[in-house]
Structure 1
Amino acid sequence: MKMAEATPHIGGALNWARARIAVVDARILLRHVLQCSAARLAAYPEARLEAPEWAEFRSLVERREAGEPVAYLTGEREFFGHPFIVTPAVLIPRPDTELLVELALAHFGDKPHTRVLDLGTGSGALAISLALELPQADVVAVDRSREALWVAMANAARLRASISFVLGDWFSSLGDDHYQLIVANPPYIAAADPHLDEGDVRFEPSTALVAGPDGLDDLAAIAAQAPRHLEPGGWLFMEHGFDQAAAVRGLLTDGGFSSIASWKDLAGIERVSGGQWRGR
Structure 2
Amino acid sequence: MTGSEALAQAVRDLRGAGVDDPARDARRLLAMAMGIDPGRLTLHLHDALGPGEEARFREHIQARLTRQPVAQIVGYRDFYGRRFIVTPAVLDPRPDTEILIEAALAEPFDTVLDLGTGSGCILLTLLKEMPGAWGLGTDLSPKALEVAKQNRTALRLDGPAVLREGSWFDAVEGGPFDLIVSNPPYIAEGDMAGLAPEVRDWEPTMALTPGGDGLDAYRIISAGAQAHLVPGGRLMVEIGPDQGDAVAALFTAAGFENTRILPDLDGRDRVVVGNAP
Q: What TM bracket, shorter-length normalisation?
A: over 0.9
The residue that corresponds to 2:208 in the other structure is 209
- The structural deviation recorded for 1:159 is 1.4
CA distance in 2, matches of 1:40, 1:225: 49
The residue that corresponds to 1:276 in the other structure is 275
The residue that corresponds to 2:135 in the other structure is 139
The residue that corresponds to 2:114 in the other structure is 118
The residue that corresponds to 2:238 in the other structure is 239
TM-score of the superposed pair, with normalisation by structure 2: 0.93
8 Å Cα contact 2:181-2:237 kept in structure 1: yes
TM-score of the superposed pair, with normalisation by structure 1: 0.92
- The structural deviation recorded for 1:193 is 0.9
8 Å Cα contact 2:261-2:270 kept in structure 1: yes
The residue that corresponds to 1:5 in the other structure is none
CA distance in 2, matches of 1:68, 1:140: 31
Structure 1: gaps spanning 5 or more residues: 1-7
- The structural deviation recorded for 1:173 is 2.0
8 Å Cα contact 2:32-2:38 kept in structure 1: no
CA distance in 1, matches of 2:156, 2:131: 10
User: In the alignment, is residue 153 of structure 1 matched against residue 153 of structure 2?
Assistant: no
**Which of these two proteins has the greater Rg computed from alpha carbons?**
1
4+ runs of 1 displaced by more than 2 Å? 194-199
CA distance in 1, matches of 2:3, 2:111: 49
User: In the alignment, is residue 12 of structure 1 matched against residue 5 of structure 2?
Assistant: yes
SS at match of 1:263: strand
* Bigger Cα displacement from structure 2, 121-130 vs 30-39: 30-39
CA distance in 2, matches of 1:211, 1:177: 26
CA distance in 1, matches of 2:84, 2:53: 24
Whichever residue aligns with residue 143 of structure 2, its letter is E
- The structural deviation recorded for 1:247 is 0.1
1:33-112 alignment, distance < 5 Å: 33-108=33-108, 111=109
CA distance in 2, matches of 1:264, 1:64: 32
SS at match of 2:179: strand
The residue that corresponds to 2:26 in the other structure is 26
CA distance in 1, matches of 2:193, 2:262: 23
Whichever residue aligns with residue 120 of structure 2, its letter is G
State how many pairs are aligned. Answer: 267
Whichever residue aligns with residue 248 of structure 2, its letter is R
Whichever residue aligns with residue 2 of structure 2, its letter is H
RMSD: 1.2
SS at match of 2:222: helix
